[in-house]
C-alpha cells in the first residue's frame, strides 16, 4: 500500500468518483471538498492484500478506481469469493461499524485507489450532517437486497441461468462496448465464477462451453466478450 498526499492537485480528479458514493450524497460542494481532504488516499498494486479476515478494522474504504475481490474462509476451503467490487463501492463497512474483526479478506485485482475514513471521522460528520446516517442505512439496505436476490436466484434458477445473469451483471458494472459487443475484464477464474453463483467449476466450465458454442460469448484471458447479451438475458430468466 502506498499512501497518497491528499493535496488539492492529487485529490481533485477523484472528486467525481467519490461524489457518486452515499457519503457525499448529502453534502454541499464546500462540505464535500472539506471531507475529501480528511480522507486517506492510498493505492494498491494488483494482487496486493488490502486487509485480512479476522484483523481489527477501523477504516472503511471507498474504491476510487480499479477492482477488488472480497472473500471469506469457510469450513471446507480456505477462501470463498463473495464479491467483485469497483469504483464507488465501499469495502470493509461491517467491522467498521461494529468495531469487530474484519469479516472478509479484500485483495486488489487491478491497481486500486481508495479513500478511507475512520469511524470517529464518520461519527463527527454524522453529527454535523445527520442525513449521512440515513444515506448509510440506505446503502446497507441496498447491499442486503442484492444478496437476498442472489439467494433467491440460487433457489429458483439453474446454474446456467445464474451464470448468464452473473455475466450480464458484470457487464453492466464493468463492461465496455466496442464495435457493438461488450467486453468485460473481470479477472475471475472459473472457480471464482462458481463461488458467485453457488455452483461447481465443472458446471461453470460446461455452461461457458455451451454459451460459446451457441455464439453468445467469447471467453478471453481474464474476461469475456458478450456477443449476444439479449440471448443471455433470455437464458437468465
* pLDDT, one tens digit for every residue, the chain (237 residues): 887 766 544 445 455 677 778 888 888 888 888 888 889 999 999 999 999 998 887 888 989 889 999 998 877 666 789 899 998 888 887 766 666 788 889 999 999 999 998 888 988 998 999 998 888 888 878 877 877 777 777 777 899 999 999 999 999 999 999 888 899 999 999 999 999 998 999 999 999 999 999 999 999 999 999 999 999 999 998
Count CB atoms within 10 A of the CB of residue 108.
22
* pLDDT, position 9: 40
- pLDDT tens string 69-101: 999 887 766 678 989 999 888 888 776 666 678
The CATH superfamily holding the domain 12-153 is: Jelly Rolls (2.60.120.10)
Domain 157-236 fold is Arc Repressor Mutant, subunit A (1.10.10)
* pLDDT, position 129: 92
Count CB atoms within 10 A of the CB of residue 68.
22
Residue of 205, 211, 206 lying closest to 228 (CA atoms)? 211
First and final CA of the chain: distance in angstroms? 42
What cell does 82 get? Answer: 463473495
What cell does 131 get? Answer: 442525513
* pLDDT, position 15: 54
* pLDDT, position 205: 96
* pLDDT, position 120: 87
Radius of gyration of the chain, Cα coordinates, nearest whole angstrom: 19
* pLDDT, position 10: 44
* pLDDT, position 7: 57
What cell does 177 get? Answer: 462496448
* pLDDT, position 84: 93
Residues of the chain with CATH 2.60.120.10: 12-153
* pLDDT, position 152: 75
Residues of the chain with CATH 1.10.10.10: 157-236
Amino acid at each position: 500500500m502506498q499512501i497518497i498526499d491528499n493535496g488539492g492537485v492529487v485529490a481533485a480528479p477523484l472528486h467525481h468518483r467519490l461524489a457518486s458514493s452515499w457519503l457525499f450524497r448529502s453534502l454541499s460542494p464546500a462540505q464535500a471538498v472539506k471531507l475529501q481532504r480528511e480522507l486517506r488516499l492510498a493505492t494498491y498494486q494488483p494482487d496486493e492484500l488490502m486487509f485480512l479476515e479476522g484483523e481489527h478494522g477501523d477504516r472503511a474504504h471507498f474504491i476510487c478506481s480499479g477492482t477488488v475481490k472480497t472473500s471469506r474462509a469457510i469450513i471446507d476451503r480456505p477462501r470463498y469469493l463473495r464479491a467483485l467490487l469497483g469504483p464507488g463501492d465501499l469495502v470493509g463497512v461491517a467491522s467498521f461499524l461494529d468495531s469487530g474483526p474484519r469479516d472478509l479478506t479484500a485483495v486488489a485485482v487491478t491497481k486500486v485507489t481508495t479513500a478511507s475514513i475512520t469511524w470517529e471521522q464518520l461519527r463527527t460528520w454524522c453529527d454535523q450532517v445527520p442525513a449521512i446516517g440515513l444515506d448509510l442505512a440506505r446503502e446497507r439496505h441496498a447491499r442486503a437486497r442484492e444478496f437476498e436476490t442472489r439467494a433467491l436466484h440460487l433457489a429458483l434458477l439453474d446454474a446456467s441461468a445464474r451464470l448468464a445473469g452473473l455475466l450480464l451483471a458484470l457487464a453492466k458494472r464493468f463492461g465496455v462496448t466496442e464495435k457493438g459487443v461488450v467486453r468485460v475484464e473481470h479477472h475471475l477464474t472459473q472457480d471464482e465464477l462458481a463461488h458467485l453463483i453457488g455452483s461447481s467449476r465443472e458446471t461453470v466450465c460446461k455452461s461457458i462451453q455451451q454459451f460459446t458454442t451457441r455464439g453468445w460469448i467469447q471467453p478471453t484471458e481474464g474476461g469475456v466478450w458478450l456477443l449476444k447479451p439479449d440471448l443471455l438475458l433470455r437464458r437468465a430468466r
